[in-house]
Amino acid sequence: MRTRFAVKRTAIYLLMLAAVLALCSCKVSGKSDLIRYAKSNYGDCEYISQDHSGSGKDEVRTVYLKDKETGIEYSVTSSMSSIVIDGSVFGHQEYKSSDFDTKYQAYLLDKADSGLRDLAEEYGFSFDPETGIYKLSFDSRESGENAKKAVKEVDKLLAKYDTKNLRPMNYLLYVEDNVYIGTYDASTGEYTKSNEFDIIDYVHENYDPDAVFLDSLGAYINEFLSYEEIDELFPSERDGAPMGTAYYFRDKDGEIFIAIDLDEFGANAGGIRLFRDYSSGMEEIEY
Query: Over the stretch 191-217, which tens digit does the pLDDT of each residue have?
Result: 999 999 999 999 999 999 999 999 999
Q: What is the pLDDT of residue 117?
A: 97
Q: What is the pLDDT of residue 22?
A: 47
pTM: 0.75
Q: What is the pLDDT of residue 160?
A: 97
- Structure letter (DSSP) for residue 86: T
Is 168:153 a contact under the CB 8 Å cutoff?
A: no
Q: Whole-angstrom Cα distance, residue 283 to residue 149?
A: 41
Q: What is the pLDDT of residue 88?
A: 59
Q: Which residues of the chain have pLDDT under 70?
A: 1-26, 82-92, 177, 237-240
Strand partners, 259: 247, 274
CA 227 to chain centroid, in Å, comes to 33
Q: What is the pLDDT of residue 82?
A: 59
Per-residue pLDDT tens digits for 134-189: 999 999 999 999 999 999 999 999 999 999 999 999 999 999 768 999 999 999 99
The 10 Å Cβ neighbour count of residue 12 is: 10
Q: Whole-angstrom Cα distance, residue 242 to residue 177?
A: 28
Return the SS3 of 183.
Answer: strand
